[in-house]
Amino acid sequence: MERGVALITGASRGIGKEIAITLAKNGYDIALNYRGEMDITAEEIETKYNIKCALVKGDVSSFEDCERFVKQTISELGRIDVLVNNAGITKDGLLMRMSKEDFESVIGVNLIGTFNVTRHVIPIMIKQKSGRIINISSVVGVSGNAGQTNYSASKAGIIGFTKSLAKEVASRNILVNAVAPGFIDTDMTNVLSDEIKENINTQIPLKRMGEAKDIANAVKFLASEDSSYVTGQILNVNGGML
């Protein structure tokens, strides 16, 4: 069984929560970052999965918040072996109607947030001479999508960030990869109408949306020793869309 400490951002629900549960089941002590409210206590997680857990509240778009909750993770759990940059938001709309605030807030959380957390974790991993950084991108970061210029730009930026950082830190035994989900059945897609969902499914060769566990299993692979010669890669998990 794998053992280490994983910090997951945006872990209160959806894909982030599923990633946290999957890594906990595989023996990782975990730090769960969240911005709003968590519906579970650290004690409940520790008891259920027989691990150590820290709840580290903070907004990833704030450089200072990230410094604080990374330090809290080290204080409570001692090290960080795996960082999963999962926190993300959408504020969709056609560019001609998109406000400056909606563009900047999505970039701020999704892309700048990935930088903010990673910037504070990298010195720790360099000192440890090991680490795994797994960034959550998106199929639309590769393909683009009408009505999502802000979101697509942020997720495309994460791909460039991933490939560049992988080259910077490979000599320190730190692996940097990304997972690019397709359409996944989460709160983000639940707001879509049945008609839109059906249209999406026609574009997917497997004819269905993915589940959060599909992304969590990809993260589990990239966090494990099975991926020890994999870095700078984008793992597309999209049912054959792209």
Domains and CATH numbers, the chain: 5-235 (3.40.50.720)
Beta strand spans in 104-191 (E)? 131-136, 174-181
- Note the pLDDT tens digit of each residue in 135-178: 999 999 999 999 999 999 999 999 999 999 999 999 999 999 99
> Do 73 and 117 meet the contact criterion of CB atoms below 8 Å apart?
no
Q: How confident is the model at residue 186 (pLDDT cuts 50, 70, 90)?
A: confident
Residue of 28, 49, 151, 229 with catalytic role: 151
Give me 126's structure tokens.
Answer: 């360099």
pLDDT at 213: 97
Is pTM beyond 0.85? Reply is yes
- Distance separating alpha carbons of residues 138 and 178, to the nearest angstrom: 9
- Distance separating alpha carbons of residues 62 and 80, to the nearest angstrom: 20
Tokens 């993260």 correspond to 219
pLDDT at 197: 84
Task: Please confirm, yes or no, whether 151 is among the known catalytic residues.
Answer: yes
